[in-house]
Amino acid sequence: MDEQEIAALLATEDEEALSALFHRAYETKQRYCGNKVYLRGIIEFSNRCRKNCYYCGIRRDNRQIERYRLSREAIVAEALWSWKAGYGSVVIQGGEIVSGAQTDFIEACLREIKSKTNGELGITLSLGEQEDESYRRWFEAGAHRYLLRIESSDPDLYRRLHPPSHSYCNRLRCLEALKTIGYQVGTGVLIGLPRQGVRELTRDILFFKQFDVDMIGMGPFIPHDQTPMRRSLPHFDAKRQLQWGLKMIAATRLTLPDINIAATTALQALSPDGREQGILAGANIIMPNVTDRHYRTGYQLYPNKPNLDENADSTRLALEASLAATGSVIGYGEWGDSPHFARRRSPSAANGPGCGSYTVDR
Ligand code: SAH
Ligand code: SF4
């Protein structure tokens, strides 16, 4: 799809045309990636952050939250729970801290998780911009995917979302470094920002294509009261934000048919079945929260984050039922790498989704 075609899809407003768009994207996902949805248990390991992104609830200058960092034992326990539940992978996510101690800490967690799961559990990191050396050490310790959103591929918009010390160029440099080291690289953007429209979002999708991404995690912007952007959308309309999120998933799927696309939690914050709607619009990944409930209120990147009280077991059962209703099955015990990644690494070895599988006994 070229720029004009993507822009035309994103401009769709009519209900019937939207249903047709989502259906086409869903069919494309079925054809290229199969009907499995892969689960990545997300471990929100720390809300300490050196950055001050204007939109984010755990930004450094928000003094109204209590800061925490999970112990290594707690992180490993949550990873083991995910493995035993048959989640193919976990995502270790947190605020951006750059230090030798942090690099050592994450490396030790990775090695322990890998050894206690016989190397079977896939591990994604989402820890922001780091030194290449840290990225390299974590890769060698067993992490194989990394999520770093570009937030907006438009440098001007990026500048309006961040303080001057936050560098768009460094973000790009990090994405390149991750790819060179060998990670499966995921990026994404905030959707429905002030002064962002069809033109900017179309270019975001073209950026994903040009960067040749393996995975996308993107979601609607939800203003947080304790941030400088709290009043940036005076007429906040949850339905409209959700619709933008779904349109972006569908248009991205039609442009990049064989990548992994997450139905992110921000969709669920806007509507209880937002993630299922994301699956029906072409997404194939869900990231259930497996963090100890005690810490969840401390990780409010945006307000109304769901599942604050749910335990991981009930989340899994509820997901199984709601995904079955979308015609999908959960790819238990599989890493669920994107067919795109397999093709990128070895063009002749790309024979569909689900590499790196193990059997689970549940
Ligand atoms: N510190 C890491 C990972 C945690 S933040 C990083 O920045 O990469 C994960 C994502 O949360 C960010 O990439 C951002 O896009 C999203 N996020 C932050 N504030 C948000 C908000 N108000 N609405 C929606 N998404 C938000
Ligand atoms: Fe920190 Fe990430 Fe939030 Fe920015 S988006 S303030 S880097 S946690």
Q: Is the CB of 56 under 6 A from ligand 1?
A: yes
For ligand 1, whether the C-beta of 59 sits within 6 Å is no
**CA distance linking residue 128 with residue 88, whole number of Å:** 23
Residue 310 is predicted with a pLDDT of 76
219 in ligand 1 pocket by Cβ < 6 Å? yes
Burial of 272 (0-12, 13-18, 19+ CB in 10 A): exposed
Query: Looking at residue 313, what is its pLDDT?
Result: 82
d(CA 201, CA 170): 21
Query: Which atom belonging to ligand 2 lies closest to the Cα atom of 94?
Result: 8
Cα gap 332→322, rounded to integer Å:
15
Nearest to 24, CA basis, from 9, 3, 7, 4? 9
How far is 283 from 239, CA to CA, in rounded Å? Answer: 19
Using alpha carbons, select from 95, 172, 105, 96 the residue that is nearest to residue 130.
Answer: 96
Number of H helices, E strands in the chain: 13, 11
Which residue ranges have their beta carbon within 6 Å of ligand 2?
Answer: 49, 51, 53, 56, 58-59, 95-96, 128
Angle, CA 270 vertex, CA 236 and CA 263 arms, to 5°:
130
List the beta bridge partners of residue 342. Answer: none
CA of 172 to the centre of ligand 1 (A): 16
Strand partners, 123: 90
Q: How far apart are alpha carbons 49 and 289 in whole angstroms? A: 20
Q: What is the DSSP string of 33-45?
A: H-SEEEEEEEEEE
CB atoms within 10 A of CB 140: 13
- The two tokens of residue 60 are 């450094």
Residue pair 308/297 in contact (Cβ under 8 Å)? The answer is yes
The confidence score (pLDDT) of residue 352 equals 39
Q: Which atom of ligand 1 is nearest to the CA of 303?
A: 22
Contact indicator for 302, 266 with CB cutoff of 8 Å: yes
Establish whether residue 125 lines the binding site of ligand 1, counting it when its CB lies within 6 angstroms of any ligand atom: no
Distance 49 CA to ligand 2 centre (A): 6
Q: How far apart are CA 263 and CA 249, in angstroms?
A: 8
149 Cβ inside 6 Å of ligand 1: yes
Whose CA is closest to 301, among 99, 39, 46, 87? 46
pLDDT in tens, the chain (362 residues): 899 999 999 999 999 999 999 999 999 999 999 999 999 999 999 999 999 999 999 999 999 999 999 999 999 999 999 999 999 999 999 999 999 999 999 999 999 999 999 999 999 999 999 999 999 999 999 999 999 999 999 999 999 999 999 999 999 999 999 999 999 999 999 999 999 999 999 999 999 999 999 999 999 999 999 999 999 999 999 999 999 999 999 999 999 999 999 999 999 999 999 999 999 999 999 999 999 988 998 999 999 888 777 778 888 888 889 999 999 999 999 999 999 998 888 765 444 333 344 444 43
The packing angle between helices 238-255 and 3-10, to 10°, is 150
Q: Rounded to the nearest whole angstrom, what is the distance from the C-alpha of residue 266 to the centroid of ligand 1?
A: 10
Q: What is the pLDDT of residue 14?
A: 95
Instruction: Judge if the beta carbon of residue 301 lies within 6 A of ligand 1.
Output: yes
Q: Determine how β-strand 285-286 pairs with β-strand 219-220.
A: unpaired
In this prediction, residue 316 carries a pLDDT of: 85
- Closest C-alpha to 250, from 11, 26, 30, 2: 26
Could you please report the per-residue DSSP string of 269-287?
HHSTTHHHHHHHTT--EE-
Question: How far is ligand 1, taken at its centre, from the CA of residue 112, in Å?
Answer: 27
How far is ligand 1, taken at its centre, from the CA of residue 289, in Å? Answer: 15
